[in-house]
Amino acid sequence: MAPTSGPLPAPSPMPPASGPLPPLPPTGLLPPGLTPPGPLRPTSSPKRERHIWPLSPIPQVVRPFHPPPTPYASGHRGVDLSAPPGAKVMASAKGTVIHAAQVATRPVISIHHEDGTRTTYEPVAPTVRKGDRVTAGTPLGTLLPAHPGCPTPACLHWAAFRPTNSPTRAYANPLSLLRPPHPRLLPSHPSPRPPHPSAHSPSPTPPRSNVVFPRPDPFATRTPTHRIPHARPLQPVRKPNRTDYGLPQQQSRVFQDTPHSSPGFPPYRNTPTPIPRHGSPNRSRIGTFRHQVHK
């Protein structure tokens, strides 16, 4: 067939449809004999149940949980709670008693809870039997003394684990199963409270009145309220005796050293002679010495 030259002819328009269009067939057709499935529901795991303390009042943990490094190594697969011998032991949560008998010469009680967790209590003299339904706080028995490794007269060994297909058990810290403290919500806009009085808070301002009080003069002479201890009274200053030249008149005594008396000589005695200082009108006697002999 030879190729044609020129533009292609336009397609002829489709005739308009008369009446409504037929419905489209469903996309997911099932073979005959099968029914459509119902609405899908999300699969949820059982809700984790919160536990309570198996002793009342809240006991003291004398030996904490210490998991072993390997499944068959030694460790402490639970917690030891201190309590007096004969204390009432309670179930920590709702469940079914699956064991209440001796295990290795120690009476042990095991409870299977609805979330799949199992708790054990030892050494406890049981008052329940296998198959009994219990709730949180149901008495299980009384605590016995002489638990190995307990530093007090009696301890309750409380353990928690989940059963697995392997010979070992997945132990967990039973304290992590306890109910958290009840949260207390505070208002978003608390009402204002009056401030507490303190030593650093300023004193309240007194109300104003029309009475005007005189203000003290800061420059006025005031009587001292405190006396200075060991204060000496002031002494009057004496006017110095001055000479004609304006210098004070000071007299000094000059002594001349003489030898001691000896045989044949009369004894000498030092006689002080007043000699005026500079500024005296009698200048002829300045620096002279006189010796007087006393017979």
| Cα 80 from Cα 60, distance rounded (Å) | 8
DSSP 49-98: PPB--SSSS--EEEE--B--SSTTS--B-SEEEE--TTPEEE-SSSEEEE
* pTM to 2 decimal places: 0.47
Domain 60-177 matching CATH 3.40.50.920: the answer reads no
User: Where do the structural domains in the chain lie, given as residue ranges?
Assistant: 60-177
What average pLDDT values come out for the chain (295 residues) when binned by 10 residues? Answer: 59 60 55 52 58 93 89 86 94 95 91 93 95 95 87 92 77 86 66 60 61 58 58 66 58 50 55 56 50 49
